Amino acid sequence: MLNLLLLVLTTSWPPAASGQDASSATVSPLNTHCNATAGTNHTAGSAYLSNLRALGGALSRRALATGFASGSYGAAPDEVHGLVLCRGDFTGGNCTDGLASAFRDAAAQFCPGAADATVYYDQYMIRYTNDGRLLSDPGDNEPLWSGKNMNEVTGADAAARFMAKATELMNRTADLAAFGSPPSSSSPSRYATGETWFDEQGVSVVYGLVQCTPDLTGEQCRSCLAGIIAQMPKLFGDASSRPVGGRILGVRCNLRYEKDVFFKETSTTIKLNMPKKLLLQRDLVILEREIVSESDERFSLFKFSKIKDATDNFSRENKLGEGGFGHVYKGRLTTNQDIAVKRLAPNSAQGFKEFKNEIKLIACLQHRNLVRLLGCCIKSKERILVYEYMPNGSLDGLIFGEEEVKPNWHVRRHIIEGIAEGLLYIHDYAHACIVHRDLKPSNILLDHEMNPKISDFGIARICLSSVTESNTTTAIGTFGYIAPEYCSQNVYSTKSDVFSFGILVLEIISGKRAVGSYKLSGRSYELRRYAWQLWKEERCDELVDPSFGEDYQEMDIIRCIQVALLCVQDSAEDRPTMHDVTTMLSNGNRRLLMPAQPGSFNIDIGDPEEL
Ligand SMILES: *[C@@H]1O[C@H](CO)[C@@H](O)[C@H](O)[C@H]1NC(C)=O
Ligand SMILES: *[C@@H]1O[C@H](CO)[C@@H](O)[C@H](O)[C@H]1NC(C)=O
Ligand SMILES: *[C@@H]1O[C@H](CO)[C@@H](O)[C@H](O)[C@H]1NC(C)=O
Ligand SMILES: *[C@@H]1O[C@H](CO)[C@@H](O)[C@H](O)[C@H]1NC(C)=O
Ligand SMILES: *[C@@H]1O[C@H](CO)[C@@H](O)[C@H](O)[C@H]1NC(C)=O
Ligand SMILES: *[C@@H]1O[C@H](CO)[C@@H](O)[C@H](O)[C@H]1NC(C)=O
Ligand SMILES: *[C@@H]1O[C@H](CO)[C@@H](O)[C@H](O)[C@H]1NC(C)=O
């Protein structure tokens, strides 16, 4: 991309633009400025030359961290002063390699013998001199160099509109570089990028970049940039035509704009006057790049048409289910891969920003007990998540469904352990602690080997690292699985998930739904209190799903019930963590605490048949 851009730029640019290839020994500079009036002509073996070599090496190394370094080396009269700068999106080893060879090339090739040289490259620059005063003045941006793209916007009106747009873009980007967020940052990058909408004569977006050396204050940086922005009308064309791209490079600050993207866009790239639709597209491109770079696994942005084809236009036959968030469809990609397509309801309040955060969050979660997100699709109001397809449906269908053959205790034990592992991962080991908040059987899916995978992180929230509980304005979750503190105070934490997990375990063991009323000695109980009562009276065998027959170990199942009852205790503090739970489940010898009797906080649901 950069090579191509270079080629279309002014003829004054070096013809060997293919020298941009980082692997070749010499990268061609855009411009070399050797100051012949600066005095001494240094010869091979001179003290000045060896000081210059030492300074070049030192500055190149020191620029590794921030892309900027300045300093001097040696003693007068052979002291050398220098400064190096990498473009804000081209730092690290690639830039410092370039800087080091720039010093070598300048001394040997471009400015042999000159005491004072400035060399501008596409993505970095070096400056050295024997006159320290030249580098000590932050207001001195000389020597300046400018170049322009050969393509033009023509016609007085269009040219004027274009120049106004480009100048506005530069102004705003300069503000960001000088005073941008966070303004008080101790090591500001003084680098900013932006985009504006033009949409005439084949130019749709204008991309802009400005940068100052980061040792300038905000005011100095802004004033330096104002100086070169003010030169744009003079340097770039005339009233009848304006180049579609150009740059002005100085020692202290520089600017560039083009009709094609030439820098790495980030979420801080300013967007001016951009149509909403386009904004979305750009955001998506950035989103994909950020996700792909953060997650090793492949994550894709799907075209809406591709999703439509995969699901036969979201046909009724392909519908797998629906929930508060929208519908889920089965789909098959042209590669024959089966996918589950979650089409969020168009009225879902979620804006792009929330959606983006959520996607970034889920895309990075990788665990064998979590359903993997393959990608997403966004088109105007459409918000679609694409997951791996789970052939064996949900736990809901498995334990409450119509199937004649229900999974035996061994399969269910395996499922319980898997869910516990998945939850432990999102609570403790994922890059950010996550609370699921809507754990229920229909959100536990099964792969072809009956491994459980937790799905639907649609309402997951990142816990603040220092605060394990956080307040939420809207209660979300599913009736029957919601922990008491969540119902009454709208406070959720990992312990609320532990509660839901406990309820799940009781359902898996009993084959009975949490929302239901179960009679014991003439009284009606909901599942949680029913289970506690049976456990208390040492009648656990009555809780166990009759379909197990004799095929289970009594002690093991009693243990699981006890763990579940510990999880569903009223007080969040009394509940174990998921770490405790996995330990209790795997270590049959560990003594367990006695679960407290459930209070009657719970909504009296009554008999569903009577409703
Ligand atoms: C060139 O060097 C001379 C002598 O040091 C200095 O006065 C002048 O400002 C330099 N020019 C540039 C563009 O740095
Ligand atoms: C450095 O350059 C190589 C080769 O062009 C490229 O693959 C790599 O991504 C670059 N590294 C960075 C940090 O830009
Ligand atoms: C320095 O001297 C060398 C050899 O005499 C000559 O080729 C070169 O052009 C001189 N450089 C300057 C900047 O005067
Ligand atoms: C850019 O800023 C300069 C000085 O701050 C101002 O004079 C000029 O009108 C601005 N131009 C645009 C298009 O915003
Ligand atoms: C989907 O619907 C569009 C019209 O809405 C139709 O042209 C297209 O053929 C349909 N595709 C399939 C696979 O049914
Ligand atoms: C689970 O899926 C596999 C492969 O699709 C299938 O052979 C198996 O019968 C399924 N098991 C259940 C319980 O549905
Ligand atoms: C949650 O909000 C309520 C009322 O606004 C407040 O009393 C309570 O302290 C908050 N809890 C947390 C954990 O922030």
Active site includes 21? no
Question: What pLDDT sits at residue 182?
Answer: 58
Judge whether residue 316 has pLDDT over 80.
Answer: yes
| Per-residue pLDDT, 284 | 72
Q: Is residue 354's pLDDT more than 60?
A: yes
CATH number given to 277-388: 3.30.200.20
Residue 156 Cα distances to 148, 161, 240, angstroms:
18, 9, 4
Using most ligand atoms within 8 A of CB, pick from 396, 404, 414, 450 the residue to mutate for ligand 6: 450
pLDDT in the model for residue 113? 86
What does the alpha-carbon distance between residue 497 and residue 120 come to, in Å, rounded to a whole number? 58
Question: Which residue out of 105, 283, 438, 545 is catalytically annotated?
Answer: 438
The secondary structure of residue 459, as a DSSP letter, is: T
The CB density around residue 381, as the number of other CB atoms within 10 Å, is 10
Is it true that the peptide bond before 182 is cis, omega within 30 degrees of 0? yes
Please indicate whether the domains covering 6-137 and 147-274 agree at the CATH topology level.
Answer: yes
Instruction: Tell the CATH topology of 395-586.
Output: Transferase(Phosphotransferase); domain 1 (1.10.510)
Query: Which of 34, 41, 43 has most ligand 3 atoms within 8 Å of its beta carbon, as the pocket-test mutant?
Result: 41
Q: Is the dihedral of CA 284, 289, 293, 296 positive or negative?
A: positive
Spell out the domain ranges in the chain: 6-137, 147-274, 277-388, 395-586
Residues 437, 497: contact at Cβ < 8 Å?
yes
Model pLDDT for residues 141-167, shown as the tens digit of each residue: 999 999 999 999 999 999 999 999 999
The CATH number, out of the four listed (1.20.1290.10, 3.10.180.10, 3.30.430.20, 3.20.20.70), of the domain defined by the range 147-274: 3.30.430.20
Q: Write phi, then psi, for 271 (nearest 5 degrees).
A: -120, 120
pLDDT in tens, 290-304: 666 665 556 788 889
Q: Tell me how far the alpha carbon of residue 451 lies from the centroid of ligand 6, in angstroms.
A: 11
Sheet strands side by side (includes 117-120): 31-34, 117-120, 124-129, 80-86, 68-73
Fold of 6-137: Killer Toxin P4; Chain A (3.30.430)
CA-to-CA distance for 184 and 178, rounded, in angstroms?
11
The minimum-distance atom of ligand 1 relative to the CA of 143 is: 13
The ligand 5 atom at the shortest distance from the C-alpha of residue 313 is 1
Indicate if the alpha-carbon torsion angle 581, 583, 585, 591 is positive or negative: negative
Cα of 324 from ligand 5 centre, angstroms: 26
pLDDT of residue 257: 97
pLDDT digits (tens, 9 = 90+) for 10-65: 333 333 333 334 444 468 999 999 987 766 667 778 899 999 999 999 999 999 99
Our CA dihedral for 456, 462, 467, 469, rounded to 10 degrees, sits at -20
**pLDDT greater at residue 531 or residue 483:** 531
Name which residue sits closest to atom 3 of ligand 3, judged by CA: 113
Helix (H), strand (E) at residue 135: helix 133-136
DSSP letters for 297-345: S--EEPPHHHHHHHTTTT-GGGEEEEETTEEEEEEE-TTS-EEEEEEE-
Cβ neighbour number for residue 357 with a 10 Å cutoff: 14
Cα 360 from chain centroid (whole Å): 5
Residues in binding site: 342
